[in-house]
């Protein structure tokens, strides 16, 4: 059986940069993104933009940008295939990071408590 690689438009926000382009995943992207064996995210046909004021660096385009999985604070994945389903339990929440305030519907496993949503597991 051959591994299926799928491409999705992605927008990744770290504390200091925005990277957008194409993310290629092996199989279901929700499983791929949570795979402990995957330590970096590779964004193809990528554009990196600084978010802080006063930086001398402008937008940088590259064929590939590798982002350590512990850096993203926000990851927006587009164009889900019909068979890809987010986790079943949802909650409307507001989440604060050191850079962003996020408001939306967060998906989690049925057994996950809302109070544990952001503290269940340390990142890679």
Give the pLDDT confidence score for residue 68 in this predicted structure: 96
Asked if 94 and 101 touch (Cβ cutoff 8 Å), the reply is yes
Give the pLDDT confidence score for residue 119 in this predicted structure: 64
**Residue 44 domain-assigned (yes or no):** yes
**Residue 122 domain-assigned (yes or no):** no
Domain count, the chain: 1
**Residue 123 domain-assigned (yes or no):** no
**Residue 124 domain-assigned (yes or no):** no
**Residue 42 domain-assigned (yes or no):** yes
State the CATH number of the domain containing residue 11: 2.30.30.100
> Parallel, antiparallel, or unpaired for β 5-13 and 17-26?
antiparallel
Asked if 93 and 117 touch (Cβ cutoff 8 Å), the reply is yes
Give the domain range for residue 13: 5-116
Give the span between the Cα atoms of 122 and 5, in whole angstroms.
27
User: pTM for the whole thing?
Assistant: 0.80
Rg (CA), the chain: 15
Per-residue pLDDT of the chain (124 residues; tens, 9 = 90+): 687 888 999 999 999 999 999 999 988 888 888 888 999 999 999 999 999 888 888 899 999 999 999 999 999 988 876 666 778 899 999 988 888 898 998 888 899 888 887 764 554 4
């Amino acid at each position: 059986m051959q591994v299926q690689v799928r491409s999705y438009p992605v927008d990744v926000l770290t504390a200091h940069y925005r990277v957008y382009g194409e993310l290629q995943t092996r199989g279901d992207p929700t499983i791929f993104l949570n795979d402990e064996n995957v330590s970096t995210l590779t964004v193809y046909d990528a554009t990196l933009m600084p978010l802080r004021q006063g930086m001398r660096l402008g937008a940088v385009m590259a064929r590939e940008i590798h982002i350590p999985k512990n850096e993203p604070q926000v990851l927006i994945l587009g164009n889900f295939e019909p068979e890809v389903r987010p986790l079943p339990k949802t909650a409307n929440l507001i989440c604060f990071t050191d850079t962003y305030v996020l408001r939306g519907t967060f998906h989690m496993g049925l057994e996950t408590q809302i109070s544990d949503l952001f503290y269940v597991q340390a990142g890679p």
